[in-house]
Structure 1
């Protein structure tokens, strides 16, 4: 059976509610986003980031004074009196985040127009760098759910028979249905088992920032007590009081009680109400479910340690709490919380909300700092069949943003897409041949992992199939753990997050059918990626590309007919007007350009081809994607001799 979910991501609006005198639930407010396809959103206060060097950045007393003075000027008071016929609200500073920003709440409930006015006032202050609502983000929940029937028989991990997503994407027939005469060609699996000869995740910590984890006989929960619950609000956490507590255990995230309804001052629309998802438990199982233990199923990196970090509870989790969780999980310091004794090499976040990730916002700042500490950050693209550039953290700079495919290797119908996607991984398509028009759900359409049967509080451990980009992201996080493990086993330095990104993209499998919408470089292949990390062959020839710098002229390039040369140009996020060209010399040259991956010698998979007669070839684009561009020069009839290759772009 399947269980559709009306919404997987929470949309952004300029809404918030704050009144210390009101009931706890009344802090939350919902307003329309102005985007027709998005529902109302929920916020709790504002996050104010001060400029580097400003006194407010280092002094909490100065920050508190600033909030008071900002609303007390004659101009602001006159504006509010004229526009709203009331005095401007008092701003209460709640706490300082690990990024240095402040969480603040007005002392009275605001309309959307009042909130916009308040944000504009704060942004106008020279000491303020950025102002954003404290968004209540959601776990990117499954678009469908299936329960595994009993009676599976197979050696060792008996239920691994249904985990098509762990096997090779070579088109072999998957007999995963109860009717063994029914099969599906597997073009979407990640080929995990061959990777274990090089590394199985041993010695690697993967932080799962999610709903927490539940006890399960097929999960290693040895770091559950070492994890932390970053939810500050008792209403969201389900605890009797506000405040953070040790441990990464999932207490449940159900919203079926009337107190969670928006009309009762809560944070959920009636169509959003649901029993507990046990989302973090499913994600954790995909990453490192115990393997070769004659129980249940297998995980991508069976020896990796999951560090559960609870940041999502009833109705989701706030931007401020999630930002602190990112900092702590990656080894950074958060005031009031003991430092993490198990800093993560990898963070998985299968969560998100509508609204692009601003570089000055706290989520982006926390992620940038985590990457600088050496932590690779993997996120889910989102389940709204929309451009992921409009979602956070999917659009945050530096993340590995993962779209979802099904068993056939096609983009899952729900998966977000676009230029911010790094690559794709199994998320499941739910339906026969990943085609929703069939209306028939099959076990081969789901991603299978650990779960719990409790409707509210934790109950009996079980296994279940989910579909969603939330399932694609942990496949990728698990492969990152394998990459690090393989490098350690081979006596090599731990790859940097950028090097890991390149290993993943450059060893990914070509889509069996070219997607009509961009979902990254290809489908992740654990076997190839881990072999590359171990120093063996894997993927294409990108590692051998000659680096081309902006403005550099590589002269004297020559090749015989049919021979190729490969070059690489790294284009930053602030680039404009990219131009790549060849000129001079003699003969015939063909130029193929592709972002992320090297184009093939025949140019069939190139993003841009320039094959006019002679040696003058040109590629240009006004708004290039921030990525590595691979340029393949191919000798045409008679080859080419002594040509020059150059590339230019402007920055802002």
Structure 2
């Protein structure tokens, strides 16, 4: 497998450029007719056409105006087959708004991706994925970096896996779609849907939507995208991002399968919904995608047979989200169906209140921190932001510039194709990206863990508002005050899943170093502390012991999972009067051995030590 890294995207291998015979770029408008006026896309197109003939000048006056569709939320979408300047578009909108048959009109904005248990056996997990480990300040050397950094930004998914892995939940990822990858569960790939209704943006020869949530590429390098009348310039053109695959991997990459990396909720299934393509994606298509993913009906599209528990959207753009906008209405409809919607705050180092869907009512808006637990230099901020999660700081020390480092990125699955996906084994790769796009799926995955844990505990279903409240209340404080604000804190998947399951949060875990004694925290009667020792393959004569101090403790140990407070699931037990407790295994299995020390009476000043003979 290939490891790649870039500030805005991973380095891509060369691929043959394809010029598409796609329809031209369209300027789209979202129109709502007055009550009593037939609300059809054809009627709306007629109104727009009249205004266009009187307001547009030159070649655009002859541009074709045609109906596109009526959205699930009741708005009508029309298209003008021309790229209008901002001034011409504003003039046209004002003219349409003056028509007595029109209740409201707005541009159909293009949204863009925001890119900038025991330790699992996935080979790249330990080396790269700092963001899934506890943000407890442990010193870690990430990837190819030369220097260690204190990890204060991780979400602690590792300890959350002791409770559950999100089994039975579905997370809809509204993004660029999904590529084939051996480290992602692809069972819902065909069940997803492509909502892009512009052939120019989808890369298809027609404006039709299409079944399947597959990513066929979103490159803008080459005609027609970087040509006159396209959406970019040759200097700003980019190869395909495979953004949706990276986001999906962070949510639910397969774990403990012996390959690649891990996901926050490896038991969850991803439902890919393609709404972003070449040049981005229209707000109207995103609104219909939200309706469909949450179980609503969209005309012309088969109903979704796998409604999501969580919708994840690492996308957006400038402009406040108004409650009567298509995105806002679709989100409210999703929330009313019990679906939690998570969105990225944005990468403009600006107030998120001025971005959509980040400022839409009812969403969980996610800001980004780097490995050091501080706001990433690019992350939007403000009271609109609900919580923060690791998005990566990109540069050494989470600075705003300087040297790119592996500790500055979030790591997940990607593809190496420059344009179309490379479907050979050479195309399956892992890469680092940085952005609020990368922070968002950490929250979506944590919500999947919470929902599955509550179901497993046979508790009443948690509403989106309850899930949001638990996520906020269990977030970890920032290592230093954030000004401007970045939400309640950094999410803690372990604390969140315990809160959702209604179980006490286990004590903080202290990692033991072979033969190095650690002074245990004072314990009240019935209190406990937790420790762990990583035992390599082939080690012999494992011993775990407590000595000295005052009081009376009991020691429980187990491979791969912290024993219960009563020791009912422990495989090794030592219970004697006083603090001299020891358990041993002559030929221990390799992996992380967990130790729980329980105070039978008030106990203090004892030491804990683990040892084994090196292989």
Question: Which interval holds the TM-score relative to the shorter structure?
Answer: 0.7 to 0.9
CA distance in 2, matches of 1:519, 1:299: 24
Q: Which runs of structure 2 are paired with 1:455-466 in the superposition (5 Å)?
A: 455-459=418-422, 460-466=427-433
Q: For the structure 1 residues 87 and 419, does the alpha-carbon distance in structure 2 shift closer, same or farther, using more than 3 Å as the test?
A: same
CA distance, structure 1, for counterparts of residue 456 and residue 24 of structure 2: 53
Q: CA deviation at 1:126?
A: 5.4
CA distance in 2, matches of 1:528, 1:481: 14
- 2:107 alignment partner in structure 1: 133
Q: CA deviation at 1:186?
A: 1.1
Question: CA shift at 1:196, angstroms?
Answer: 2.1
Structure 2 distance, partners of 1:530, 1:116, is 48
- Which of 330, 333, 338 is matched with 1:374 structurally? 338
In the alignment, is residue 418 of structure 1 matched against residue 382 of structure 2?
Answer: yes
The Cα shift of 1:270 comes to 2.9
Deviation of the 1:371 alpha carbon: 1.0
Equivalent of residue 165 in structure 1, options 131, 142, 150: 131
Per-residue deviation, 1:65: 4.2
CA distance in 2, matches of 1:294, 1:108: 51
Q: Classify the secondary structure of the residue corresponding to 1:56.
A: coil
Any idea what SS the aligned residue of 1:260 has?
coil
Instruction: Say if 1:68 and 1:90, in contact at 8 Å, map to a contact too.
Output: no
Question: What secondary structure does 1:272 align onto?
Answer: coil
Moved more, 491-500 or 219-228: 491-500
Pair 1:354-2:321 in alignment:
no
**Corresponding position of 1:176:** 142
1:548 counterpart residue number: none
Against the structure 1 CA distance between its residues 274 and 461, is the aligned structure 2 distance closer, same or farther, given a 3 Å change threshold? same
Contact 1:421 1:519 (C-alpha < 8 Å) held by counterparts: yes
Q: Give the deviation of 1:2 after TM superposition.
A: 5.6
Residue 50 in 1 paired to residue 15 in 2?
no
Shift of 1:527: 0.5
- Paired with 2:498 and 2:83, the residues of 1 have a C-alpha distance of 57
Find out whether 1:268 has 2:232 as its counterpart: yes
Q: Shift of the alpha carbon at 1:430?
A: 1.6
| Whole-Å separation in 2 of the counterparts to 1:465 and 1:27 | 31
Superposed displacement of residue 488, structure 1: 0.2
1:185 equivalent among 150, 158, 163: 150
CA distance in 1, matches of 2:61, 2:231: 28
Q: How do residues 330-345 of structure 1 correspond to structure 2 at under 5 angstroms?
A: 330-345=294-309
**Of residues 28, 51, 66 in structure 2, which corresponds to 1:92?**
66
Structure 2 CA distance, aligned partners of 1:442 and 1:107? 44
Work out whether residues 130 and 361 of structure 1, in 8 Å CA contact, stay in contact via their aligned partners in 2: no
User: Structure 1 residues 205 and 67, CA, compared in 2 at 3 Å: closer, same or farther?
Assistant: same
Q: Would you say 1:405 and 2:403 are equivalent positions? A: no
Q: How many residues align?
A: 485
Is 2:194 aligned against 1:202? no
Q: Which residue of the partner structure matches residue 468 of structure 1?
A: 435
Matched, 1:248 2:187: no
SS at match of 2:437: helix
Within 5 A, what are the aligned runs for 1:540-551? none
Structure 1 residue 476 displacement after superposition: 0.3
User: What are the ranges of 5 or more consecutive residues in structure 1 without an aligned counterpart?
Assistant: 7-22, 29-43, 144-153, 540-652
C-alpha deviation, 1:67, in angstroms? 5.3
Structure 2 segments unaligned to the other structure (5+ residues)? 10-20, 507-615
Matching of residues 148-159 of structure 1 within 5 Å: 156-159=121-124
User: Take 1:504 and 1:137, find their aligned partners in 2: how far apart are those partners?
Assistant: 27
* Cα distance in 2 for residues equivalent to 1:516 and 1:288: 32
**Structure 2 CA distance for partners of 1:97 and 1:515, relative to 1, 3 Å:** same
1:324: which partner in 2? Answer: 288
CA distance in 1, matches of 2:496, 2:268: 17
Structure 1 residues 375-429: Cα deviation after superposition (integer angstroms, max 9, x where no partner):
1111111111111111111111111110100111010011111121111000001
Q: Does 1:447 align with 2:445?
A: no
In 2, the alpha carbon distance for the partners of 1:339 and 1:351 equals: 24
1:27 alignment counterpart: 25
Counterpart of 2:467 in structure 1 is 500
Which of 243, 252, 271 matches 1:279?
A: 243
Q: How does 1:559-570 map to 2 (within 5 A)?
A: none
Please give the residue correspondences for 1:203-218 in structure 2 after superposition, counting only pairs within 5 Å: 203-218=168-183
Taking structure 2 as the reference length, the TM-score comes to 0.74
- Cα distance, 1:283–1:294 mapped onto 2, change above 3 Å: same
Q: 2:540 maps to what in 1?
A: none
Structure 1 distance, partners of 2:474, 2:160, is 13
Cα RMSD of the aligned pairs, angstroms, is 2.7
1:221 corresponds to which of 178, 182, 186 = 186
Contact kept? 1:509, 1:523, Cα under 8 Å: yes
CA-CA distance at 1:24 after TM superposition = 5.7
3-state SS in 1 of match to 2:412: strand
User: 2:292, 2:300 → 1: CA distance?
Assistant: 11
Q: Measure the CA separation in 1 of the matches of 2:400 and 2:200.
A: 37
Task: Give 2:393's match in structure 1, choosing from 415, 429, 437.
Answer: 429
Q: Is the 8 A contact 1:185 1:408 kept in 2?
A: yes
Residue 433 of structure 1: CA displacement? 2.2
Distance in structure 1 (CA, Å) of the matches to 2:212 and 2:169: 19
**Does the residue aligned with 1:477 lie in a helix, a strand or coil?**
helix
Please state how far the C-alpha of 1:113 moved relative to its aligned partner: 4.3
Q: Is the 8 A contact 2:120 2:256 kept in 1?
A: no
Match among 56, 65, 77 for residue 103 of structure 1: 77
User: Which structure 2 residues correspond to residues 522-561 of structure 1 after superposition, within 5 A?
Assistant: 522-537=489-504
Partners of 1:114 and 1:175 lie apart in 2 by: 53
Confirm or deny: 8 A CA contact 2:120 2:255 kept in the other structure. no
**SS of 2:217's equivalent?**
coil
Match of 2:456 among 478, 486, 489: 489
**Contact residue 380 and residue 403 of structure 1 kept, 8 A:** yes
Q: Matched residues in 1 for 2:81 and 2:396: separation?
A: 53
> What are the equivalent positions in structure 2 for 1:584-599 lying under 5 Å apart?
none
* Alpha-carbon separation, structure 1, partners of 2:298 and 2:160: 36
